[in-house]
A and B are shown apart, each in its own frame.
Chain A
């Protein structure tokens, strides 16, 4: 099969990037798993078996693990699952396993922005406006986002805006290809974005750029924020962030003078132990300038993961039920229980968040069995060496994936699954639009879809209600989400097939969907957006003499997430590297391409040096797609945001050493 860029897929704009049109090559890759495999004993080899044998083994293990408590089994999902699968997985955990222990890798991606959006607006939809609005903006400020490399098709909107005379401000410690496009690039020290945002708001106040009418009519809580930012005068911001006052002033003036302006945050701002507060600081700035809920303006968060939005709406999160309902809300439990045909009291309460869950495995009181779907935490979780140890201590690890990922390689049972082109399913993109993906080809013989797997497991556990047809699951999801925040009740396969563009909430089949949220009011009890005063905390891990550099992590153009798929596509070039400034390289005698050791107190990685002038001299960058000795997450810390439980992927103290001899 080949892919062309004719259709509208994924992010929405026309065009695919190279990850896109090479994706088809994995469908028939020799590395595709085509048979379930089981390990007889720890340390033994994975041996191909029939589906019956594999599923019996899983259920046997589940029963043993749940001998004392249903929470003895945990489920780890993925933001790449379709809405139908994410929904079914959440239901499977609560109804078939009756465990509270389910979370997913999206926790490592969107959770901070989601929490900030919920806190301010009462709803979390990546973009509360259509993507196409970006091209019409007069100014866009991007924080910690590098779409020119991570999702190239998205850049069209930015270049269209720039070509029309708009301004692009990019905030990133690296001068990325995206920063090269920008009118203005601000390069703060990793982890200091919160102070930067507060500093911009300080200047907006000083220069009289705050939209007082909007504040009075549409928001609450500004006084406390005003007091909080009063401590962030420019020279203090300069000392902490390294961004100079003239640039701060230019940035805030560009934003404020634009008729339509947007502030978009991404992982660079959000993946910190203070990620929610950092996203909130930028949201505060957007609110003070009167942007959210005004046509063509606003605050949003970018996501590139296949179903980053939909995957966080329908119940694979520890604290959530379908429709973006909260699992602790009695009304939500009652509604969903009725759809599921169970007693509300039988639905477990909130469980552990992703890293807390991984950290608890196999030890005092934590689950002793884990089912992993569409995720590769051995590579993608922070402090990954520790995570691998926790996984190894399980009595039963089950991994469903299409290739033998690093996590699958540790499993006791491996289940081969279908992928995107081999099954129907919907995803929801960052603008809250539901997209229907049709099956284009038959899966290889011996491969099951995740829905089939859940059906097979549930049947063995004596539980019904897990259909294998995606559309049937979607029909149930519609009922389960009805009346919730992310209301899909009016969205059907038929409407999507007919080409309708439907953004949730879409409460009925005659409703046209909601491309732009908040035009009439915010989803808060009083309809006003909520300011929330936040302050820059001390660094979780300050640099020291032993670890004098700041490490930040991220993605590169040719790879995706943990790399389990893209590393297996031979036509995608590139190898793992550490990017460092030429001054630092010169001082250490490191030359471009040389293999060096990067270490933190938690672990080490051996990487090729990429010497550049596009990074702060006190900062090094390691992409996180690679495994083994090149694994970035051997280095990262496991401090979590107190609200979102997001780990601090984006800043820790590190050192570089030459490998001599």
Chain B
């Protein structure tokens, strides 16, 4: 029986365990989780912060039977003896080891942010775990003004969540526009308008250089001298892959643990996935790639042939009244169009709407939908699959309008019971429903088309009168 040890009980690790045991229930799986809690759905943390969901609701209840050690930090891997040992003295032998250690929040090394012991100044938090979430929510109860450092995806979700607690909220972001990794400048500008419209202050173009306050935080100072006051500071400055254990074990590590298309490290018994893994130069920080990797790895580890060739990233901002879908390379502008590159833009900043498609050789390689994501489904699928695009590109930007007064073509069947077309009715010369019924039998079956017939008569009667006149 194969013994699989998984280090990490987050989104990637827990998913892998589910997928593995679904394929082969006889596997002996052991999981080590650094957090005390059972696995939970990190994607819902901003809902928890916003008070939309109780913390208990984000637990990823597992139906899979695995040995789980929670609150148990792995101290070392012995790749020769093939064992994993924890700080509290557990030693687990493995045939296959999987690293799913995830990543840690980055704490920027700015003046005043932490005490000599490395402890964050009172009132300053990272936003990474459910525990962080609880702590921020608790602090928010006795705070009045929050500052979020970082205007990326997570920072904006945090800001939106903090608004729900009744706090004033400012966002400081060192780059020239919000969500600069995903958005172009114009999109960033529209997003800024929407964020400000919600009542959030936005401070761009200068990095936080110091945290103000001695015993408790009182604000954030920017490199250009501006100061943003606040008694609660949330750091949303990105994450760093958690590769300490892998590095100590002598595995090949760059930014993340290096893996091949089978998610294998340079040790054939050791695999890695999720935010700690680096595949073809990419380290992914979203859940979707981790779950795609989990599917592939579960196949590989149960003897099926499978390859992971990389993920297409789609970023969705999950925050009330802020609709953002971003994918692929969105930088090219309309001025860059040529034989191979097509850029389509729709901008209505006053209504907080901005949409953009980047198409290369007929394939969607990037897209932005801000303020109106009503076509996110079709756009996501087109981007994911590289499928052929509609001739009319606007079909990717706007949902079809639905109105009762659809112009029926002549061959449209109005009465399905009797196969009566719009032309039959238009050309019947009738002006009332009973006349139509007598002459064409339309409406005499189920009667479901009566309102359509009425509409048709209404729309063609004036024309008839004009003809007569």
B is bound to A: yes
Determine whether A7 belongs to the interface, using a CB cutoff of 8 Å to chain B. no
Say whether A242 contacts B390, CB under 8 Å.
no
Cβ contact of B445, chosen from A15, A158, A208, A583, cutoff 8 A: A15
Interface centre among A189, A230, A557, by most chain B C-beta atoms within 10 angstroms, is A230
CB distance from A207 to the nearest CB of B (A): 8
Q: Measured between alpha carbons, how far is A246 from B399 in the docked complex, in Å?
A: 10
Return the 3 tightest CB-CB contacts between A and B, nearest first: A227-B61, A155-B448, A244-B377
What does the 1/0 interface line of A147-189 toward B look like (CB < 8 Å)? 0110011111011000100000000000001001000010001
Which of the 9-residue segments A232-240, A266-274, A560-568 touches chain B? Answer: A232-240
- The total of chain A residues at the interface (CB under 8 A) is 55
Enumerate A302-352 residues with CB–CB distance to B below 8 Å.
Answer: none
**B244 on interface, CB distance cutoff 8 Å:** no
Q: Which of A155, A246, A573, A582 contacts B419 (CB 8 A)?
A: A573
Query: Is residue B138 contacting chain A, with contact meaning CB distance below 8 A?
Result: no
Chain A 568-609 near chain B by CB (<8 Å), digits 1 or 0: 000001000000001110110000000000000000000000
Chain A's nearest CB lies how many Å from the CB of B201?
27
Cα A158 to Cα B448 with chains together (Å):
9
Chain B, residues 435-450, CB within 8 Å of chain A (1/0): the string is 0000000001111101
Which secondary structure characterizes the binding site on chain B? loop
> Cα distance A156–B43 when bound, in Å?
44
- A245 CB to closest chain B CB (Å) equals 6
Residues of A within 8 A of B399 (CB): 244, 247
Choice from A15, A177, A207, A231 contacting B447 with Cβ under 8 Å:
A15
> Chain B residues with Cβ under 8 A from A180's Cβ?
406
B451 within 8 A of A: yes
Residue with the greatest number of chain A CB neighbours at <10 A, chosen from B47, B316, B399, B446:
B446
Does chain A have a CB within 8 A of B78?
no
Query: Is B58 within 8 A of A230, CB to CB?
Result: yes
Known contacts A230-B44, A235-B325; A243 and B377 CB within 8 A of each other: yes
Report if A230-B60 is in contact (Cβ < 8 Å); known contacts: A16-B445, A17-B417, A156-B446. Answer: yes
Residues of A within 8 A of B57 (CB): 205, 226, 230
Q: Which of B318, B373, B389, B419 contacts A244 (CB 8 A)?
A: B373
Q: Which residues of A contact B (CB under 8 A)?
A: 5, 13-18, 148-149, 152-156, 158-159, 163, 177, 180, 185, 189, 205-208, 223-224, 226-227, 230-231, 233-236, 238-239, 241-247, 533, 557-558, 573, 582-584, 586-587, 617-618
Query: Which of B60, B378, B387, B448 makes the CB contact (< 8 A) with A227?
Result: B60
Q: Which residues of B are found within 8 Å of A245, using beta-carbon distances?
A: 316, 323, 373, 376-377
Distance, CA A15 to CA B416, complexed state (A):
13
> Per-position contact with A for B298-338: 1 when CB-CB < 8 Å, else 0?
00000000000000001010100001010000000000000
Query: Which residues of the partner chain A approach B318 to less than 8 Å between Cβ atoms?
Result: 233
What are 20 A-B pairs with beta-carbon distances under 8 A?
A17-B417, A148-B416, A152-B417, A153-B417, A156-B447, A180-B406, A206-B53, A230-B60, A235-B380, A239-B380, A239-B381, A242-B380, A244-B377, A244-B378, A244-B399, A245-B373, A247-B374, A557-B416, A584-B388, A587-B388
Chain A residues with CB under 8 Å of B416's CB are 17-18, 148-149, 152, 177, 557
Taking A155-B446, A180-B406, A244-B399 as contacts, is the C-beta distance between A239 and B314 under 8 angstroms?
Answer: yes
Cβ of B391 under 8 Å from chain A = yes
Interface flag for B41 (CB, 8 Å): yes
A285 to B406 CA separation, bound complex (whole angstroms): 32
Residues of B within 8 A of A158 (CB): 448
Query: Any chain A CB within 8 A of the CB of B288?
Result: yes
Q: For residue A16, which residue of chain B has the nearest CB?
A: B445
Measured between alpha carbons, how far is A154 from B446 in the docked complex, in Å? 7
Q: Are B448 and A159 neighbours in the complex by a CB distance under 8 Å?
A: yes
* Contacts from B to A (Cβ < 8 Å): 41, 43-44, 47, 52-53, 57-63, 288, 291, 314, 316, 318, 323, 325, 372-378, 380-381, 384, 387-391, 399, 402, 406, 413, 416-419, 444-448, 450-451
Complex interface: chain A residues within 8 A of B60 (CB):
227, 230-231
One of A244, A558, A583 near B374 (C-beta < 8 A): A244
Chain A residues positioned under 8 Å from B43 (CB to CB): 233
Q: Which A residues lie within 8 Å of B384 (CB)?
A: 239
Is A206 within 8 A of B52, CB to CB?
yes
A253 CB → nearest B CB, Å:
14
Q: In whole Å, how far is A626's beta carbon from the nearest beta carbon of chain B?
A: 18
Are B374 and A246 in touch, CB under 8 angstroms? yes
A17 surroundings in chain B (CB, below 8 A) = 416-417, 445-446
A530 to B376 alpha-carbon distance, docked (Å) = 34
Q: Is the CB of B447 within 8 A of A18?
A: no
Report the Cα distance A155→B417, complex, angstroms: 11
Q: Which of A155, A163, A236, A246 contacts B373 (CB 8 A)?
A: A246
Question: In the complex the two chains form, is B63's CB within 8 Å of A236's CB?
Answer: no
A236, B387: Cβ atoms closer than 8 Å: no
B6 to chain A, nearest CB (A): 18
Q: How far is it, in angstroms, between the C-alpha of A623 and the C-alpha of B377 when the chains are bound? A: 27
B381 touches A242 (CB 8 A): yes
Measured between beta carbons, the chain A residues less than 8 angstroms from B418 are 18
- Chain B residues with CB below 8 A from A227, complex form: 59-63
A586 touching B391 by the CB < 8 A rule?
A: yes
Say how far A588's CB is from chain B's closest CB, in angstroms: 10
Which residues of chain B come closer than 8 Å to A235, judged between CB atoms? 288, 314, 316, 325, 376, 380
